[in-house]
Chains A and B, each alone.
Chain A
Amino acid sequence: MSSVASPPPDSPAPSKSWTVKVREKGVEALPPERLLPDGQPTYVASWIYVFGVASIASLIVIILSGSIIALKGPAWWHYTGVGHFFNSIHMWSVELFFFVMVVHLWGKYWMASWRGGRGRVWITGAITFLVAVPAALTGYVSQQNFDAQWISTQAKDAMNSVGVGAFFNLTNFGQMYSYHILLLPIAVVLLVSAHVLLVRRNGVVPPFEVQERVAALAGAKTDGSAPASPDGATAAEDSSGSHAGGPS
């Protein structure tokens, strides 16, 4: 039986290792309790926070329904009731996605949620919206029905006028389908992931004039059994008894 060599127990960590560097940087930027917190500041107590997580939930439903259609091919939904059912779910989840995302964006605007070094959180959210628009457009022109014919022949003029039509041809079904089911969804998912990680890293933006209240709020004694906060504070129920929050 051959023996397996193991490193001596006191050997130093390989500081030159890229893997270790990535791990250390990752844990430093987002320790597990910050990445998946079990407590939120008590100011995260409004229905507006629901629209952030609703945007992600809609995106998940879009991807799931779209994947089912993709499994059967682009023509399936035209000639089967089940296919049409999943196409309808796909379409309505897109409508819901844009609706909740727009409400989320407006909410974040009125909270000036870029404050305190959170500029990148806003930027990734805004770019996600802008990338989602062509993701939807390529879906409309990939439908293989009259809508696809009309939208592609009309929208091509806008693309051509700025030169984009030379390499992004709305009347080329194969190209548009690739963009719709692979390239643009990947871009949206990466942007949303970056957005959520930035929110977790920076925390949910606090209310205006919080500085003046910090002392008063910190003065209130917390319950020792409440969950630990990412900042080391302990959690306690909001005096109002309500809370809502999410990766918003």
Chain B
Amino acid sequence: MSIWRTEENTPPWKGRYAPYDLVKELCIAVVVIGLLAVLLTVLLSSPDDKPSTIAQWSHELPADFATTAAKELDETSPTAEYGPPYNHSSGSVQHFLFLHPQRWFGVSHPINTADDFVIKPLETIPNNPALQKALAEYKAAPEKQKKEWSEAYAKPLEAYSEAVEEKKTPPTTVAVDQSTGTVTVKASGAGPVPTMMASLQGLAQSGGVDGSLLTSNQFFQTDYTKPLLFMADGGLLAERAEAQHLLGKQWGLMNETGSYPGQPWLWLYALWYQVEPMKSSPNADIQVLLIMGLLSLAFICIPFIPVINRIPRWIPIYKLIWREHYRAGESAAGGSTS
């Protein structure tokens, strides 16, 4: 017996056949579905919210940009601490029991946040002697010194962000001019970092960081990993997402901007993130994907899973589907057939 053959055999149909035009039916279906899609288009259109840019982020949320950039420099941002495939950290590395696939596949898209998000963009700024001097001083310093400078600069910014988030009075060490998008940080012991970060803010607002994060050895660019990760470390994307009900706690993975249906077929996938232990687990993603992998396998194998493959016989929805057939059978057989 073939492994493809499920336990129940069905003999070849020896009953009557009704005329049927397969090609005509398909053509009619295409026209109907096409018209339905046009009708939905005319009535509801489709969403297209403009993408955010680093220039926009640094203008609208200058303190958030400065805080994020400081964390990229001292390598304490989510991306800096992520782990594979971006670097060798472990902040976002997940595992399940003995399964460590994130580690196994290694660093395939290497990102050094200090170099890639701060130093290299600054190196593209010409004719700025103060910045060149600050950069040279920073690059020549030992790692320990760099860390002390960047931490000294980041600390007041983090205190400022916390105060804003908790709606408390912000510390006076950080002055933000929202109209010009400038951030002034009074940080003692930060060495050349304030000069560097002021230049980065200016470069970002001019659109220079957007461009420099796409630059590589190639002329043509299609990989937006660096600018997207930089922006995702900050608060602009999340702020917009929350307003559009797109956060994870809002079943965001299956939603899209506006009141459009999004990807409702992901409901089961999104569901697992709402229940414990996945809801509060640092390994939620791998747990959910393993669950969905098993469920997908079971879905494919339904014909061969005992009990599951018998349910359709026990719950006779089939009597509704084939009611015409059973009615005809009753007439032909002259009695009850169920």
Q: Interface of A with B (CB < 8 Å)?
A: 36-46, 48, 50, 53-54, 56-58, 60-61, 65, 77-78, 84-85, 87-89, 91-93, 95-96, 98, 100, 102, 107, 109-112, 114-120, 122-123, 126-127, 129-130, 133, 136-137, 140, 143-155, 157-158, 160-163, 165-167, 169, 171-175, 177, 203, 205-214, 216-220, 222, 226-227, 229, 231, 233-240, 242-243, 245-247
With A130-B296, A171-B225 already in contact, the answer to whether A153 and B332 are too (CB < 8 A) is no
Write the nearest CB–CB distance from A77 to chain B, whole angstroms.
8
Write the nearest CB–CB distance from A233 to chain B, whole angstroms.
6
- Provide 23 A-B residue pairs closer than 8 Å at the C-beta atoms, listed in order of the A residue: A38-B20, A41-B18, A46-B322, A50-B29, A88-B41, A89-B38, A93-B37, A112-B313, A127-B300, A140-B256, A145-B48, A146-B244, A163-B101, A167-B108, A169-B85, A172-B223, A203-B12, A207-B325, A208-B322, A213-B332, A213-B333, A220-B332, A226-B19
CB contacts (< 8 Å) of B290 on chain A: these are: 162
Are the CB atoms of B265 and A98 closer together than 8 Å?
yes
Are the CB atoms of A238 and B108 closer together than 8 Å?
no
With A112-B309, A167-B108, A214-B11 already in contact, the answer to whether A236 and B18 are too (CB < 8 A) is yes
Are the CB atoms of A36 and B29 closer together than 8 Å?
no
Are the CB atoms of A208 and B300 closer together than 8 Å?
no
CB contacts (< 8 Å) of A39 on chain B: these are: 17-20
CB contacts (< 8 Å) of A116 on chain B: these are: 5-6, 8-11
B163 within 8 A of A: no
Are the CB atoms of B317 and A110 closer together than 8 Å?
yes
Give the contacts of B29-58 with A (CB-CB under 8 A): 29-30, 32-34, 36-38, 40-41, 44-52
Bound-complex Cα distance A168 to B32 (A): 36
Of all chain A residues, the one with the shortest Cβ separation from B304 is: A119
B141 within 8 A of A: no
